A and B are shown apart, each in its own frame.
Chain A
Amino acid sequence: MTSNGPLRDPANRVSPKAVRLWLLESLIAFVFFAGISLLLSRWAGGWSWVPAWFARDPWLLPAAVVVATLPFLAAEPFVRYAVHRWELSGDVVYARSGFLTREWVFVPVSRIQTVDKGQGWFERMLGLATLEIRTASHAGSSTIKGLDYRVAAGLAEELAHRAEQLRDDAT
């Protein structure tokens, strides 16, 4: 999918159900953008300073917004599913994420301070969870979205257990 150069892909994909989660989020974003632009075009017809050609055809604004955002919003869930991957080996968490901006994060288990798993509304609906692995630094912390709930719970358990064994106070 993406060229990582000398880095290999993390071993595990997130849950396939994550695509549905991201589709849902895309849909909400789409409704939001389309709704706002529709409302704006309704009002804009009455404003005096808009150009005449726009006042005549105010539907151009929502049309432009839809054309501009739809490909991105439609592609995002599938691109994300291809990009988002994670792996735990050698006591290091290696995770990749992102859509337009990609991120690769390496967090050694010995430096982990807290492991949280959280579930939003939609995630609970789909049986997904987000794993937040925190170290003393925000740049060295990782968030893995779209994990199957049982996978997330197991991973959180394992990480917390290992982190306790390896506790390294150097921060």
Chain B
Amino acid sequence: MGPGPGPGPFPGPAVRVPQRLSPKVLLIDPVRMLPSLLLPLVGVLFVGGFSARSYGYAAAGVIGAVVFAIIRWATFTYEIVGDRLETKRSLISRSVRTIPLERIRGVDVSTPPMHRLLGLTILKIDTGASGGEEEAKLAGVTPEEAERLKAVLLRRTAEPVPHAPGEAAPAAGPRERPIIAVPRRWLLYGPLSGAYLLTPFAFAGGLVGLAFQWGDELGFSRDTAWNAGEWLWEHPYLLLALAVLLVVAMPFAGGLMYAIFNWDFTLKRRDGYLVAERGLINRRSVSLESQRVRGYEIVDGLAERWAGVTRVWAIVTGLGDSETRGQLLPDVPRDVAFQVTGDAIGPYRGELRPHPPVARRRRLFRAVFPWLLTALLAAVAAALTGAVLWWVLLVLLLAMAGIGVPLGLDRYASLGHGYDGVRLSVRSGSLRRAQAVVERRAVVGWRLRQTWFQRQAGVLTLIAGVGAGKGGYSAIDVSLPQAVGFPTEVTPEWLTPFLEHDKP
């Protein structure tokens, strides 16, 4: 990764002159503005005909875009002053954004295709504030400058990470240590994740939309498109074949997208940060401050469990957009996932305790009853009208109710909670099963919830409030002794004052 950070605490001399982005962004900005310019330009050309005047307008538009990009480039500067980063923008109104270095929680480096072509990267600075308001973005610096900035920006917060006992902890040795480089053959697990599965439909939809929008310019009119659609409608088998084709394409296209986004996924530790790098076209690297990582969430769907693979997300305080940024591992075999998360964050060594049998009844009821109820309505309608459609609907609904039985049982099997003295863990879900593992010290409060139905069944939902990730992780349908016993076990000092037997 280029020249590593120097030996001293200050990897580079603190530069006092305000810096600009690389001038090469001038090649990128106008091109990126092109799509938004294109539509009005085409409009001008068509309305005004191909006269000298309309060419003039078009040229003016292009020149305007270039000039705007130049001014924007020239008026945007950034500078590290003491212990803060200042970005100044003085295009129309003057704005200075100051970010104290200690507030920086992570730096996200990504290289979209055009930036890669020109040897540039985009640096995003995450300050942990919610919303994009407090986030700084340097869209276009050289990789060397990105490395330098990263080293300077992250220096303040980078403290030695508490290493697990038995793990080699080189204090001053190589600062970067790979944790895992996911082999490319594991990309084959991608389609199982269910991610990007709708790609073919999105693609087809985009094509149809494009045909309607640009059909005129491409030489066939809107009527032609309509006629094509009608012709297709009159040949239902062709339409069916097309639909089947799209469905068949789902796993392939989904897998392809998955592979593009998760290409050469590597996770490494650097200077108190966990760094995840991935992507084929847009290579992005996300740095998560280890100190702020509070745990992780292990997610696997039905197909993934069948294949024995899981995905992992980190639970980090103050990480915006954690769904894409917090990803710690793509689909990898279970034992690898446990080993890597145990190494990178910390293992969960406890068991998961099952929830009471009432919970199984409730899961089954919820998975089956709504379908049965609607099936009953469909049956009544079928008996009254005798229409075939109702019978078809009835069979479908009964089938769904039948599927609900194993689904409900599996949902119950997923339920569990546990504590190993350092971390607590809760698990739930079936089609998307998620197990959260959270450090004890990350818990900021407890919440017990009991709906009217839960009260009849004598169960509660226990929610551990965590100042990271989703904010709360639930143990669904625990018994009353569990609901009070578990928080008491994890944080006895908080609960014991309120226990009944505590009274003299």
In the complex the two chains form, is B480's CB within 8 Å of A5's CB? yes
With both chains docked as a complex, state the minimum distance between the C-beta of A125 and any C-beta of chain B, in angstroms.
Answer: 31
Please provide the chain B residues from 130 to 189 with a CB less than 8 Å away from any CB of chain A in the complex. Answer: none
* B444 pairs with A111, CB closer than 8 A: yes
Contact partner of B465 (CB less than 8 A), chosen from A102, A103, A139, is A139
> B19-27, B41-49, B194-202, B491-499: which lies at the A interface?
B491-499
User: Across the interface, do A111 and B317 meet the contact criterion of CB distance under 8 Å?
Assistant: no
A137 to chain B, nearest CB (A): 4
Partner of B444 from A4, A87, A137 at Cβ < 8 Å? A137
Q: Is B344 interfacial (CB-CB < 8 Å)?
A: no
Known interface pairs A90-B493, A100-B451; A107-B445 also in contact (CB < 8 Å): yes
Interface residues of B in 446-504 (CB under 8 A from A): 446-452, 455, 463-468, 471-472, 480-481, 483-485, 487, 491, 493-503
- Does A130 make an interface contact (CB < 8 A)? no
Min CB gap A110→B, angstroms: 9
In the bound complex, what is the Cα–Cα distance between A106 and B445 (angstroms)?
Answer: 6
Q: Is the CB of B484 within 8 A of A5?
A: yes
- Once A106-B446, A137-B444, A139-B445 are accepted as A-B contacts, the answer to whether A101 and B465 lie under 8 Å apart by CB is no
| B442 CB within 8 Å of chain A | yes
Q: B444 and A108: CB pair below 8 A?
A: yes
Rounded to whole angstroms, the CA-CA distance of A136 and B129 in the bound complex is: 12
| A94 nearest in chain B by CB position | B498
Contact B467 A140 (CB under 8 A): yes
How far, in whole Å, are A7 and B467 apart by their CA atoms in the complex?
25
Q: Are B501 and A6 in contact (CB under 8 A)?
A: yes
The answer to whether A171 touches B500 (Cβ under 8 A) is: no
CB–CB A139/B451 < 8 A: no
**Which residue of chain B has its CB nearest to the CB of A105?**
B447
A140 engages B448 (CB within 8 Å)? no
Is residue B441 within 8 Å, beta carbon to beta carbon, of the partner chain?
yes
Chain B: how many interface residues by the 8 Å CB criterion? 40
Asked if residues A6 and B481 are in contact (CB atoms below 8 Å), the reply is yes
A102 and B455 within 8 A (CB): yes
* Residues of chain A in range 1-52 having any CB-CB distance to chain B below 8 Å: 4-8, 10
CB pair A101–B472 under 8 Å, yes or no, is no
Residue ID in chain B nearest A109 by CB atoms: B494
Cα A56 to Cα B16 with chains together (Å): 85
Q: How far is the CA of A104 from the CA of B415 in the complex (A)?
A: 21
Most chain A beta-carbon contacts within 10 A, residue among B467, B493, B498: B498
Chain B CB within 10 Å — which of A4, A6, A107, A142 has the most? A6
Residues of B within 8 Å of A136, CB to CB, are: 317, 444, 467-468, 471
Q: Is the CB of B449 within 8 A of A103?
A: yes
As a 0/1 sequence over residues 60 to 98 of chain A, the CB contacts with chain B under 8 angstroms (1 = contact) are 000000000000000000000000000101101010001
Could you tell me the distance between the alpha carbons of A104 and B443 in the complex, rounded to whole angstroms? Answer: 16
A92 to B465, alpha carbons, bound, how many Å?
14
Whether B446 contacts A105 by the Cβ 8 Å rule is: yes
Task: For A94, list chain B residues within 8 Å (CB).
Answer: 497-498
Q: Write out the residue numbers on chain A whose beta carbons fall within 8 Å of the beta carbon of B480.
A: 5-6
For A92, the chain B residues whose CB sits under 8 A away are: 494-495, 497-498
Top 7 nearest A-B pairs (CB, nearest first) are: A140-B465, A136-B467, A140-B445, A139-B472, A171-B467, A139-B465, A137-B465
The chain B residues found within 8 Å of chain A, CB to CB, are 317, 441-452, 455, 463-468, 471-472, 480-481, 483-485, 487, 491, 493-503
